[in-house]
Amino acid sequence: MVESPAARSVGRPRRTGVAGGDPRREILEAASRLFAARGYAPTTMTEVAREVGLGQSSLYYWFRSKEDLLKALVSANRESLDVAERLAAGDAPAAVRLYAVLYADVLQMCEGALDFYDLERAARAQPDVFAEVLDDYGRLRDELERIVEAGAEEGALVAADARLAVVACLAQTEGVQHRLRTPTPDASDRPSALASTRDAARLAATTAVRGLLAEPARIDEVERLALEALGED
């Protein structure tokens, strides 16, 4: 049986003969940096290969084209939208759904190859290329606004402007994922406060949802139910 590239990813040798950790992820990280800095259209596969230290033939082993690179980067940006749309069809309380979506949003951003802020800059600079990303973000925002409005109607969430509440929630998720990737400037001489992606997800979701709960003391219960809905321990 022929192994897929993903099955052979760990340890595939580079041009220098030194075994790498995860070439596919490193290629995506290099591509994302170049796309954000130079733009999608001007960036070439040769530049991506040079950035990650691979020969061009090795790069094509993992990705056949620049379009495949972009699709791989974009595909990591849908999990929280999928969670929102799946939970919308169920009967979970709005606060639980809000926590679950925000938690999933941070996880997907932290575990993806690209800092969300870099993706956002690239998408705004080239909206035609990144139309799918912008559309997904808009759909996620709309789903979150509906959840906040439902929570206010239930009495579980404070009666806030749904649009402003969602801006605040997304500022939490996006800011925390950025700080996990990029520690604060004064953190060079002490360990990071965020030890894992799940720590980051809990911090962002708990902070955002507790601020909207009509009874903030219920946050532990909301977190427990939301993680159960996501299949988390």
Domains of the chain, residue spans: 23-73, 76-229
Q: What is the per-residue pLDDT for 2? A: 38
Which CATH number is 76-229 given? 1.10.357
CATH level 3 topology of 23-73: Arc Repressor Mutant, subunit A (1.10.10)
What global pTM score does this model have? 0.77
Q: What is the per-residue pLDDT for 32? A: 83
Strand partners, 13: 19
Q: Rounded to 5 degrees, what are φ and ψ at 210?
A: -60, -35
Q: Token pair of 57, please? A: 């033939």
Say how far apart CA 189 and CA 80 lie, in whole Å: 34
Residue ranges in the chain whose pLDDT is less than 50 = 1-19
Say how far apart CA 184 and CA 186 lie, in whole Å: 6
pLDDT per residue over 147-204, tens digit each? 999 999 999 999 889 999 999 999 999 999 998 887 777 656 666 777 889 999 999 9
- In this structure, what is the dihedral angle of CA atoms 16, 114, 86, 138, given to the nearest 10 degrees? -150
Q: What is the per-residue pLDDT for 204? A: 96
Q: What is the per-residue pLDDT for 48? A: 95
Say how far apart CA 67 and CA 63 lie, in whole Å: 9
Q: What is the per-residue pLDDT for 76? A: 60
